[in-house]
Structure 1
């Protein structure tokens, strides 16, 4: 199973690596080097490289878990014992971790993904210097002779 094709699924890491390279228009090795040199220069690239590394790590854990399970299954009689069932659970957990990390990488690469617009606005807000208070801190100016509207609480009490 560890070759990524025996179960009919694509090589998740390979496909996402290609998408990253196409998105940033450079090889993954170059992109990793650029991020290592200037991690704050492009926060999107830094996030993608971080999660790609986590994805590669998760795939490695999955490969080892699958290999261990296959080795245990080769020695099993017709019924699977508890330790082998534990290995099967380990494979399932590794698939879940790998797939979750793959989803994060896909989300990071999708410019119109839900939540991305808010995230971009939040990043911009942090970068732009504030010129004044976020909320008005004084009463609005009223021309002379204009009365302030009566409060509703005051009218209701009468």
Structure 2
């Protein structure tokens, strides 16, 4: 855990990337290439690569939201103004998404995690055979151009 960002906190993406690379003995780029070439060869590797990509996406969204919030805090005279509070909520939502995806990766990386042994593991293996994506959409569906807009100040 030697990789740290400038404020001294451990970067969850770097830590998980190091754990993934150690588990498979490959760099992430090599692992992605191997999964792309033979996605069914190792279902765990395929799932881990997919969730790592989702984690990277979430981290990018979080970084952008934090940047936007910092700009707003530096330029707005009232840090409690509605636009600033909306940015705070956006950062909070991005943290929750990123942390949820990180937790999923941790589960995949832990061979003794609940559900990975015994009857639960057998059920999980049966579910994986036919599954192609997340059971629940991970992002909101696109809105048609003529859809009514949400009331101002309400974000979801």
TM-score > 0.5, shorter chain as reference: yes
Aligned to 2:28: 28
Write out the 4+ residue segments of structure 1 that deviate beyond 6 Å after TM superposition.
Answer: 124-127
Structure-2 separation of matches of 1:70 and 1:125: 43
Aligned to 2:122: 121
Instruction: Give the alignment's TM-score, normalised by structure 2.
Output: 0.73
Structure-2 separation of matches of 1:92 and 1:14: 21
Aligned to 1:41: 41
Q: CA deviation at 1:9?
A: 2.8
Structure-2 separation of matches of 1:23 and 1:55: 18
1:17 aligns with 2:17: yes
Q: CA deviation at 1:125?
A: 10
- Seen in structure 2, the aligned counterparts of structure 1 residues 99 and 5 have a Cα distance that, compared at 3 Å, is farther
What are the residue-to-residue correspondences of 1:1-158 with 2, within 5 Å? Answer: 4-6=5-7, 8-117=8-117, 118-122=119-123, 123=125
Q: CA deviation at 1:78?
A: 4.6
RMSD between aligned residues: 2.1
Give the structure, 1 or 2, with the largest relative contact order (CA under 8 Å, sep 6 or more): 1
Q: Which structure is larger by alpha-carbon Rg, 1 or 2?
A: 1
Asked if 2 retains the 8 angstrom alpha-carbon contact of 1:16 and 1:106, the reply is: yes
Structure-2 separation of matches of 1:94 and 1:22: 27
Asked if 1 retains the 8 angstrom alpha-carbon contact of 2:73 and 2:84, the reply is: yes
Asked if 1 retains the 8 angstrom alpha-carbon contact of 2:73 and 2:79, the reply is: no
Count of aligned positions: 124
Gaps of 5+ in 2: 130-156
Gaps of 5+ in 1: 128-158
> CA offsets, 1:54-74, max 9 Å, x none?
000000000000000000000
Structure-2 separation of matches of 1:64 and 1:125: 36
Structure-1 separation of matches of 2:53 and 2:120: 22
